[in-house]
Structure 1
Amino acid sequence: GEDTRQRLLKVWEEAEGHGGDLTPLGVRQHRGIAERMYAAFPEAFKGNPSISARSTVVLRCAMSMVAFGDRLKELNPNLRISYEASHKYMDYLNYHTDESNRFTSSTDGPWAEEYRKFEDVHTNPDRLIASLFKDKRFILKKVNPKEVMWGMYWVTSDMQNAETKVSFYDLFQPQELFDLWQCINYRFYVGNANHADGKGIVVANAKSLLRNILDSADEAIQKGGIAATLRFGHDGNVIPLVALMQIENCNVAVDDPYEVYKVWSDFKVVPMAANVQIAFFRNEKGSVDDILVKILHNEHEVHIPVQTDQFPFYKWSDVESYYRNLLK
C-alpha cells in the first residue's frame, strides 16, 4: 500500500491539472499519422493545395488537429490549412439524438439493470484492497473497495498515455484486469456501437458525419485543388461511424454482455488516435466515374460491403451510391 501511494504521488507530479488534456504522446501520435499519410499519398500534397481541418470544441481535440496540421506544414510549407473548432460543426462532428441518449443512459436505459448486475459480478475488489490496506477497521470506515479498484484500474491502464514511467499492473491479477475490461468494453459498445437492442439508433448518430464526408469528397472532386478534408472528433464519434460504414468487424450486433468481448473490442476499434482515412485515386485522363478509393481503419486497408474485383480499391461511384442509400 505504501509503495503504491509513493508511485501515485510520482504520477500526480505529471497529472495534476492535466485532466482531459492531450498528452505529449498524443501529439507524437498525431504527428506520426500525418507523416505516414503524407508519405503514403504524396501526390495529394504536392504544390500549394488547400486543406480543411475542423475539430470539436473540446480543447484536446483542437490540439490534436493542430499537431496533425503542423506536421503536414513542416513537410510542405506551401500547404494552405484552415483550422476551425466551432459549435457550427458540432451537429456532425459530435452528434447525438435524444432517442439515442435515452437508450444509452446508464441510469434508465433498457440495458442498465442487466449491466449493473454484470459489473457487480465482474468487480471483485477484496483481494486488491487487502493487499493495499492492513487495517480492517480503516477499510470498514474509510474505504469504498469498488471505487478504489476502479480508480486504480483507470490509473493503471492510462499510464500507457503518460510520460512518467511507472506501472501498476503488478497490483492486479490477469483475471481481474480481464473482468474489469469486459465492463468497460461493454459500456463502450452499448454507448456507441451497434447493440442489438438499440436497433441502429446509436449508429445513426454518425449519419450527419458520413454525409459531410460524402459532400466534402464531391466538392474536392468537382473543384480540385483540395488535398484533404480532416475531421477531428472522439472515440464516441469514430465508433458509430465505422459501424455505419460497415467496416469489417465494426458493425456486429449482439445483446448479451457476456458475449460482446468475443466479437467486439474497444482497443481494436478505437485505440488512442483512432482514425479512418478514405484515399482517392484518379486517372488524369479518366472521368469522375473512373475514380477509385480505398478505406483505411487505423491505417490498415479494410473491406466494406461494396462489390469490387480489385481490393483494396473500390469504385467511388459504387461506394458513394451505397452510402447515400444508407443515409436515406
Structure 2
Amino acid sequence: MKKAVLFSLFLSVIGIAAHAQDCGTGFLGTKTLYKIGKMRYTPAPAGYQPVFINHVGRHGARHLTKDVSTTFTYGFLLKADSAGQLTEKGRQLKKMVLNLQKVEKGNTKSISAEGRTELKFIGERMFNGNANVFAKQPKITVDITKEIRTKQSADAFLVGLKDNLRDSVSIAEATDDVNLRFYDESPAYSSYEKDGDWQKYKAIIAKAEHVDEINAAITKRLFTDELLKTLNPKSEEKIINDIWGFATIVYSLHDEIIQVGLKAEDLNFTSLYTCDELKALGRADAAEDFLVKGPGVKPNGLQVIIAAPLLANFITTTDEFIKTGNYNARLRFAHAETISPFAALLGIVTADKVAADINKFDTNWQAAKVIPLSSNIQWIFYKKKGTAGYRVKILLNEQEAHITGLKTGFPYYKWSDVRKLYVAKLAKLHYKLGDDAVAFLKAVK
C-alpha cells in the first residue's frame, strides 16, 4: 500500500515538473533579448587602423506599443469574468493581464531598463574596439525616427560611448524617417504587408505547425463551453494575438516588474502553453517576419528592395567621409523592419537567403539571430598610412559577416569591391546614388 502511494506521489511530482519545465526562449523571435557570444575578431591587416564607422541599429528591449487596457483581450476578460465564463486558467490570465497593466501603465512605446542596458554596452564595445575612430575631437551624427524608443535608444547608446569620449565630442542629431522607415514611404509595400501573397506561405507553416488546433486548445483552457459557442474566429484571433504579445514582452521587463512589487511568476503567460505549443507558434510568427521583413521566397522581393535608399545613404555618407573626413561616425537608430531588409539587401550570408521551400525558411534565417532586440549592422572602415584605399569590415550584431558576391577579402573587404558590388545592386533595382528616395519608394512595385 505504501509503495502504491509513493509511486502515485512520484508520478504526481513528475507531472508537476513536466508542467513547470523551462521551455527556454527559442520561441521569442524578434523579441529575443540581445546577447553576444564570444567576440573573436580577425586581426586587421598589418598597419590598418579603424578610422570611420557607419552604423544602424534597432531600438532596445521595449515595453508594449499600446496600453494593455486598450487591447481587445483586456475588456473581453473583464466581461467574461463578470459573467462567470472564465475557467481557472482564464482567471489566472485575467490576473496576469491586470498585473501587466500595472507594469506598463505610462511606459508604452518606450524602451525598458533592459533595452537601455543593451544599448549602453553596445556603445561601450564600439568605443573599446575602435578607440582610434573617436580620438582627438570626434564628430558624430545620430539619426533617429519619429518613435520615442529610437531617441531613447540613441541616448542609451551614447551613454556607453560618451563615457569614454572627451568633452570635445560633437554630436549632431536629426530625424530621418525616409531612410530609416522606408517601409512607411512605399504604398506598394503597405499593400503587400496588408494583403500580399506572403499570407499563403505563412498559411503553409501554420498548417504544418497545427496553429488552428493550438489556438482552439488555448481558448478552451480559458473560457467555459458556454462562452466558446459565441466566440467568433476574429475574436479568437485577437485574443490569441494579444496573449502572445503579452507573453513575449515580459522577457524585456525584468526590472519594471520588480519595481511595481511583482515577481516573474505573477506574469507567467507562458504557463498557458505547453513547450511544443510555444515552439510551434514561435515558428509561425518567425515565418511571417521572414516573409514580410526578410528575404522571403523570391529574390529581390519588394520587402527587400525598399531598403535601397538606406544602402545608398550608407554609400554616400562613406564617400563623404573619404572626401572630407567631416564625421568620424554615423549612428542610426530604427526598427526591426529596417534592419532585416537592409541585412538581406547587403547580402549578409545569414540574413539574405530566400526559401524556395517555405517549410525550410529557418534553415538559413532565424529571427532571433538576425533581428533580436538591439540588433545592429556596422560598417567599420580601416586605413593604413601611406596607402590610398580603405578596407571595410561589416558586422551583423557585432559578428563578422560574410557578404554574398564578395569572394575575397573576408572580413576586411576592399571598399572599392564593396562599393562596386552595392552600386551595381542598386542599379539593378533602378536606383542610383543621388536619386530622390521618396520618389523611388512611391514608384517601386
Deviation digits for residues 46-70 of structure 1, max 9, x if unmatched?
1211001101111111221122123
> Deviation at 1:94?
1.4
The residue aligned with 1:9 is 98
SS at match of 1:106: helix
The residue number in structure 1 matching 2:151 is 62
Matched, 1:220 2:321: yes
The equivalent of 1:44 in structure 2 is 133
Q: Distance in 1 between matches of 2:374 and 2:120?
A: 10
Q: Equivalent residue for 1:206? A: 307
Q: In structure 2, what is the Cα distance between the partners aligned to 1:48 and 1:138?
A: 67
Q: Which residue does 1:160 correspond to in 2?
A: 251
Identity %: 24
Q: Distance in 2 between matches of 1:210 and 1:47?
A: 29
Deviates more, 1:234-243 or 1:278-287: 278-287
Partner of 2:408 in structure 1?
A: 308
SS in 1 for 2:146: coil
1:33 is paired with a residue whose SS is helix
Distance change in 2, residues 1:14/1:110 (3 Å): same
- CA-to-partner distance for each residue in 1:207-249, whole Å, 9 max, x for gaps? 1101111111111122225220011111111111110100012
Higher alpha-carbon Rg? 2
**TM-score between the two structures when normalised by the length of structure 2:** 0.67
State whether residues 204 and 359 of structure 2, in contact with CA within 8 Å, keep that contact through their aligned partners in structure 1.
no
Counterpart of 2:221 in structure 1 is 131
8 Å CA contact retained: 2:198, 2:292 = no
Superposition deviation, residue 286 in structure 1: 1.8
User: Which one-letter code corresponds to 1:140 in the other structure?
Assistant: K
Q: Which of 59, 83, 87 matches 2:173? A: 83
Matches within 5 A, 1:178-257: 178-197=279-298, 199-254=300-355, 256-257=357-358
For the residues of structure 2 that align with 1:3 and 1:195, how far apart are their CA atoms?
38
Letter in 2 for 1:325: A
Is the counterpart of residue 148 in structure 1 residue 239 in structure 2? yes
Using the TM superposition, give the Cα deviation of residue 174 of structure 1 relative to its aligned residue in structure 2, in angstroms: 1.9
Flag structure 2 segments of 5+ consecutive residues without an equivalent.
1-88, 258-263, 428-445
SS of 2:359 mapped into structure 1: coil
| 1:106 and 2:197 aligned | no
Give the whole-Å Cα distance in 2 for the aligned partners of 1:197 and 1:4: 40
Q: CA deviation at 1:159?
A: 1.0
Q: Is the 8 A contact 1:105 1:112 kept in 2?
A: no
* Counterpart-to-counterpart distance in 1, 2:187 and 2:144: 22
Q: Deviations over 1:121-151 (max 9, x none)?
A: 4232233233334x32133346844433332
How far off its partner does 1:312 sit?
Answer: 1.7
Partners of 2:193 and 2:413 lie apart in 1 by: 38
Task: Give the secondary structure class of the aligned counterpart of 2:380.
Answer: strand
Q: Which residue in the other structure is 2:24 paired with?
A: none
**SS of residue paired to 1:194:** coil
Tell me which residue corresponds to 2:392: 293
Single out whichever of 224-233 and 28-37 deviates more from structure 2: 224-233
8 Å CA contact 1:49, 1:225 repeated in 2? no
Higher RCO structure, 1 or 2 (CA under 8 Å, sep 6+): 2
Aligned length: 319
Residue 183 (structure 2) pairs with residue 92 (structure 1): no
1:268 to 356, 369, 373: 369
3-state DSSP of counterpart to 2:302? coil
2:163 aligns with 74
Tell me, yes or no, if the aligned pair for 1:275 and 1:298 is still in contact at 8 Å: yes
Letter in 1 for 2:305: A
Tell me the residue number matched to 1:323. 422
